[in-house]
A and B are shown apart, each in its own frame.
Chain A
Amino acid sequence: MASSTQNAPASMYRKDEGLGVWEHKGKVAAVGVGHSPADRRWDYRPETSVGAYAIIALRKAMEDAGVTPDQVDGLVMDPSTTTGASWPEGRPIPEEFAKAFKPGAGAVDGISMLSTEWILNNMPELTNIKYTQYGPGCMSNAICVGAQAVGDGLAKVCLVLKAWDNLEGRYGQGGANAEDTISGNAQWSNPWGPTGPYLWAYMFNQYTQKYGGSHDLMANFVVNSKRNGLLFPEGYWAQNRPDVLTKEDYLNSRWIVKPANLYDCDIPITVGAAYLFTTAERARDMKQKPVYILNHTQTQPKNRGIVQTLEECQESTDFTGRKLYEGAGIGPSDVTFENMYDGYTLFHQYFLEGLRFAGVKRGEALEFYEHGDLTIEGPNPVSPSGGNAGSGRTRFWMHSDSIQQIQGRAGARQIKKKAEIGISGGPMPTSGNFTVWSATPG
């Protein structure tokens, strides 16, 4: 019962330097944005499943754009939805869920994965879908594939979807990590235990050793992100636990992997988001202002050994910055705001420096965090979405916010400066997908 939809071919991603301006620059636009509610975990009710949340997000994106479902001809999505845990093998699917939805292309479809079949079987209103494609990984991947598909003429009105399920259990503490022996690739790492934030904690030490500064200088960035997150009504913290984070709270927080503390890590949640992409031409007649895509790029890791080095990370983010600017035909001074991933806050500075955002060069980010103005009111808004530190781990708030900022619809988060061009992407500084958004076709 496999899905008939294929992963996007490698040719849909722009990976190299020297490709010139993107052939579809300014010809593809994002118009609609839709989000589901955000929950900490699935409570096993059909209406809060990852499938149900995906449907909510998709319907909202269409409604937001003023598009009727029969006008949509493309669907690009990430079939993977898990934040880490899997639905236990042999555990029956909740009866209420099975009654509420039609099956898709897998036993846990709609619960812990999503196929295009599941979406189309349960959204009968999407009567004219002619193009389906997976952009596996993150919303960042799906966006690149969706943009390229519309540019290439594979779809004219395309929904782009990413949804997450967060099942029970402490993150990453089950499965092989709970065993006494270890097989496969993890045999080279698990005996020593470098999980999750370790890479970025160790690299942060390399960074401060090279350039000076300390973990305390991260406080303004995290406090600013948490503040922006509380201004994102669809975010997890804004909806569920709207506590203001102070600098003192941050500095007194417990270590996860010193120098990464609790607030340097984003919280896994259950949630979905969808965007409506179309051609620049069609976008003119839709309900919201078009946000033109100037370029997209993919960067893949080039590390030699078991662990990435600071230098490898810096090379990767410089490479990403150069490619983004080349393909969009712009330079660092054209960028109004940056919305790069922050799902360990301790790596955000590599992106910022790689983009040369606000004139910040290598090794200067902590100084900028401490003495610069990062706020939405200031001249150089840093992570105006609040990112994933601010609203929970989805790896899509940055994209939603970039679209909404340029449309002037970011509400209380709206930056004071006129939002002309924004950059968003992730997840990792050493491997991710990135997009340049613009108020004009360029």
Chain B
Amino acid sequence: MPKQSPVPDALSKPFWDACNEGRLIMQTCGICNRMQFPPEAACSQCKSKDHLMWREVSGRGKIYGYAVMHDCRIRVLQADQPFNLAIVELDEDPGIKMYSHLPGTPVDEVPVGASVRVEFEATPASGQKVYEWRVVK
């Protein structure tokens, strides 16, 4: 499903570069051993700026919740309405939540709790790849 292309900045570039390479990475604080998403300039827990690193994760998660978008404000998504908009939580840390359109899942037939696996999809404007999640059959 065509999406807006994220424009990487200094903070987000490692994440989006990894997406282009087919890898999902999470910003992690070396002191707290805690992941955070989206990435921030400092650890949201200990506030340290000097111990943030990127850690590759398995790309496995579960569907936490969803709603069905019928009237979206984002122009490039409007042609695909209605569409699923789910929240996926990472297996490594369910506190990390990420959005997904759940490609392959029929509209409004979202299996909450089901296992999902990450995949990467190119966005039309710049070719930048973004993450998506597909239900594991």
Contacts and interface: CB of A to CB of B under 8 A. Distances in A.
B68 A255 contact: yes
Interface in A48-97: none
Contacts, number: 122
A205 B74 contact: no
Contacts of B7: 181-183, 187
Contacts of A378: none
Contacts of B65: 202-203, 205-206, 209
B45 to A, nearest CB: 9
A182 B37 CA distance: 18
Contacts of A256: 70-71
B137 interface: no
B99 interface: yes
Given A192-B100, A194-B99, A306-B99, A182 B5 contact: yes
B67 interface: yes
A192 B85 contact: yes
Contacts of B74: 177, 190, 193, 195
Contacts of B125: 180-181
A68 B4 CA distance: 55
- Tell me whether chain B's interface is mostly helix, strand or loop, or mixed: loop
A304 B87 contact: no
Contact of B72 (A185, A188, A193, A203): A193
Contact of A198 (B9, B69, B82, B97): B69
B44 to A, nearest CB: 7
How many interface residues does chain A have, given as a range?
35 or more
Interface residues of B, number: 43
Contacts of A184: 9
A306 B3 contact: no
Interface stretch (A124-132, A223-231, A257-265, A417-425): A257-265
Given A257-B67, A257-B71, A188 B5 contact: no
Contact of A178 (B68, B69, B75): B75
A307 B97 contact: yes
B124 interface: yes
A118 to B, nearest CB: 30
Contacts of B97: 305-307, 309
Interface of B: 3-9, 12, 36-38, 44, 64-77, 82, 85, 87, 95-101, 108, 112, 123-126, 130
11 contacts: A173-B75, A187-B8, A188-B37, A191-B6, A202-B65, A255-B68, A255-B71, A304-B44, A306-B37, A307-B87, A309-B64
